[in-house]
Amino acid sequence: MRRLVVILSAMMIGTIGPAGADLDSAERQLRAGLHEMAAREFLSEATKGSAQAMYRLGELCEQGIGVEQNLLDAKRWYGRAAERGHKPARERLKALGERR
């Protein structure tokens, strides 16, 4: 019971939260080789507005990890993240634009 109170208190003050926890979970799944599960979790977070999740989906689409490789989709995800101020996404978008 004490553990539950600590977790709920931490969530209320913002030290941990559902979005961060889900992104961490997706990263763990990716490292464990559960690529499709990670892609689904990143997609879930991206639809909630997470720029980091959008960026990671861009990477997965660009490299074909857990999803079919698709540079057009990668550019779309990077673009969405870049619109939210994600600097690495802007850099990847620029690099892909220069790729022939």
The parent domain of residue 36 ranges over: 2-98
- Tens-digit pLDDT profile for residues 35-70: 999 999 999 999 999 999 999 999 999 999 999 999
Q: Is 86 helix (H, G, I), strand (E, B) or coil?
A: coil
pLDDT bin (cut points 50, 70, 90) of residue 99 is low
Q: Which residue has the higher pLDDT, 19 or 68?
A: 68
Do residues 70 and 78 lie in contact, with contact meaning Cβ atoms separated by under 8 Å? no
How many CB atoms are closer than 10 A to CB 66?
22
Question: Lowest mean pLDDT: which of 22-26, 34-38, 57-61, 94-98?
Answer: 94-98
Domain CATH for 42: 1.25.40.10
**Dihedral class, residue 97 (left if φ above 0, else alpha if ψ from -120 to 50, else beta):** alpha
**Dihedral class, residue 66 (left if φ above 0, else alpha if ψ from -120 to 50, else beta):** left
Structural domains of the chain, count: 1
- Tens-digit pLDDT profile for residues 74-91: 999 999 999 999 999 999
